[in-house]
Structures are given as structure tokens and as C-alpha cells.
Chain A
Amino acid sequence: MSSSPPPSSAAASPSCPKKMIALRSSDGETFEIEEAAALQSKTLENMIDEDCAGTPIPLPNVTGKILAKVVEFCSKHAEPGVDDESLRAWDAEFVNVEQATVFDYILAANFLEIPTLLNLTCNVVADMIRGKTPDEIRKFFNIKSIFSPEEEEEVRRENHWAFE
């Protein structure tokens, strides 16, 4: 990311560098993102239309650590001339992270309304769930089952067809 301050004037001529948008994370870190990349987020798109001053857009729901990665994702997906296959491979690497980080990506993608990121990350988790038994799911995600024995039996009975 370029370290030069964002331009104060709104208009940008074709020969000027691309317009950069400034974002501020919940923990006070500032990031810059090209406008084209930022437009992948519907949330940012709405904010950019409204805001002309160029002050950093505060994103209280997203930490610096995650925001950095989100900016990276959006920039990559805004890059021209990347073929589908290498993009897919890049995406696979991008989500090859800890469970907790994937969850954070999901929440950020949801908040910022980035359909590509949301779809990618949710599918990662969906794949983790598909084909597992309830017990395996619990172990994988470290979930405690707080069913009472009666509830457990009831839900099993309701859904017995899925186990056949």
C-alpha cells in the first residue's frame, strides 16, 4: 500500500494516481485501499458516495488485523488480468488460516457486504460441517452441547431421517 497521504481534492484526472480510500479499524489502525477495490464492499460504496472529504472511514466492527487482510482480498479481486484459476488458488491460500480467523473474515465480509469474500469464507465453514455427525461437529468447533436428555432425544427423533 502506498504511504502517500490521500489527495484532498475530490476530482482525479486520468493521469493522476488512483483514488485511495482511507479506512480506520476498531483499534485505530489506518489502511488505504484503491477505490476500485473498495467498491467491492457495498457498505464502503455507499459511504464513498456520501463522503467527499476523504477522512478515514471508521469501521468499529473490524480489527486492524482483519481489515488488513480484507483490504488485501479486495485489492487482489480488483486487479485486472488475473485468470480464474490463479484467483481460485489465491483464494484457497487466503482462507487457509485458523478457524477463528475464518469466522472473523465472515463477520467482516458480512458487515462490509463483500459478496465474494462472504461466499468464499462461508463455504469454507460449510465444508467443515457437511458430512460430519453432530458429535464430530461439536469436537471440530469446540461446541458444548447444552441439550437436556429429553431435548436431545426430541431433536434426534425429529431429524432421524438425515441419519439413515
Chain B
Amino acid sequence: MSAAPPPPWEVVLLVSHLLDPRTLAVASCVCKSWRASMSSDNLWKPACASLFPSLSALQSTDPALPYHRIYALGLAASRCRARSPAKPRLSLDDLVFVVDVRSEDLPITTVSKPGDEIAPDPNGLFRFELGADEECSLAMEIMDPVRITWIVALRGWKAVFTMMECDGRASFIPGAEGWFSQELPLAGCCSSAAASGLVADMKLGFCSRGVAGGKIRVESASVGILSMGSWRYASMEDGL
């Protein structure tokens, strides 16, 4: 028994008018002639006009852009907007915050606090006071070069992320604080050309209590994530 002949192109053309966009797109993948029939602008124009009316402007900027592609673009864009950001998969309890201050390779102080020991910010912001143990902090000369590092680690040392690592100088005004900040990379695998707009921020408090010879010690450290656009601290959820 001979196999049935495939549908004539006129039939394909006539039937295409009855198909919805999704079926048209699937059918475009069948073969060359179907692709040509199913991609025809007059099939896609009504769907684009009703679902994505403003995108029709794209066609006037680039007349070569076919309507079936405008439709795909519109669909992708609306999906993107509709998707709410995924809930953070971490909680503070999973993390350990480590702040390390060293000067010319000499460790000045290291503060390490597991997430569950850190008091959350009362305003729900991603910002924490870590405190430092004065006693354990070595003294530094004022204006000594310092290198500070803020690392966030997953419990059980499964993974480590360096939030910031930068050089600066110890503040020379006792009781005042030194600010350090460094831009954070974007989450995920986005291109490095775009800025994340987020900054890791650290504040070290120095004091000169109980230290002879005009030296200072680190008395406190607080860390957070700032949004560059608004210079506000990011919320806990966003930070996580």
C-alpha cells in the first residue's frame, strides 16, 4: 500500500489561517515549505496587534523583522515581567560571616560570626553589626595601610564567597569609623559588562581606648549590601 501524499501547499496555506500562534510556531518546524507558510506576516499580524500592540512599532523601525519574531519577543518579555524573583534559597542561619582586617600581612583582627548568632537588623535590611573583640585586636598605627576582607561562607564550609576585599587606611580620628565598599558582581551568569548596582559595604570602628602611643584598634565591624542607585541598604531577602 503506497503511503499517502503530503498535503498540497494550497491546503497548508488555507489551514494555516485557522491555527493559533503556538501551533503555527510548532508547525514552522516541520519542513521548509511549512516554515514559509506558517511564518507569513499576515498570519501573525493580528495576534501581535491584539496581544502586543506597542511592539508593532518594532516593525516600522526594522521592516525586515517578521511578525512571528515580534510575537516571540513580546511573549518572552511578558513572561520575564510576570516572573516574580525566586525566593532566596538561603537563610541567615546557613551562613557564616567572616571579617578579616590585616595590615601589611599582620593580622589585626578577625571576626567570625555564624548567621544564627547575628542579630537581624530591626528594619529587615541586609546589614549587620558584627562586633569585634577589642581585646583580640592588635593595635595599628593611625593611617596604617589595611586590607579588609568580608567573606560569606555556607555552613559546613560547602562554599565561600568573597563579598569584598580592599585596601584602605586606618582612620586617624579615634572613635570615628572607616568606610570600605566594593561593587558586587551580578548574580548568575550575566555578562560582566553590566554593573549589578549593588555594593558590599563595611564599616570599621576604631578606638584608641586602652592603647598607648596613639595607636588604634578595631572595635566594631558592620557589613551590609547597598544598592548603588538609591544608596540604601538592600532588604534581607534581596541580599540573600
Residues of A at the B interface (CB closer than 8 Å) are: 98-100, 103, 106-107, 110, 118, 122-123, 125-126, 129-134, 137-138, 141-147, 151-152, 155-156, 158-159, 161-163
CA distance A159 to B26 in the complex (A): 7
CA distance A95 to B11 in the complex (A): 15
Is A123 within 8 A of B4, CB to CB? no
A contact residues around B76 at 8 Å (CB)? 161
> Known interface pairs A146-B31, A159-B72. Does A141 touch B7 (Cβ–Cβ under 8 Å)?
yes
B contact residues around A107 at 8 Å (CB)? 8, 10-11
Cross-chain contact of B6 among A106, A141, A147 (Cβ < 8 A): A141
Known: A122-B15, A125-B7, A134-B27. 20 other contacts (CB 8 A): A99-B7, A110-B14, A118-B14, A122-B14, A126-B19, A131-B23, A141-B6, A142-B3, A143-B7, A145-B30, A146-B31, A147-B32, A147-B35, A152-B29, A155-B28, A155-B35, A158-B69, A161-B72, A161-B75, A162-B25
CA distance A107 to B5 in the complex (A): 15
Is A142 within 8 A of B31, CB to CB? no
Is B72 within 8 A of A129, CB to CB? no
A/B interface sample: 23 pairs, CB < 8 A: A99-B7, A106-B10, A107-B11, A122-B18, A125-B15, A126-B15, A130-B23, A132-B26, A134-B26, A134-B30, A138-B31, A141-B7, A142-B4, A143-B30, A145-B30, A146-B32, A147-B31, A155-B28, A158-B25, A158-B69, A159-B26, A159-B29, A159-B72
Inter-chain contact total with CB atoms closer than 8 Å: 96
Q: How far is the CB of A157 from chain B (nearest CB, A)?
A: 10
CA distance A162 to B79 in the complex (A): 13
Residues of B at the A interface (CB closer than 8 Å) are: 3-8, 10-11, 14-15, 17-23, 25-32, 34-35, 68-69, 72, 75-76
B contact residues around A162 at 8 Å (CB)? 21-23, 25-26
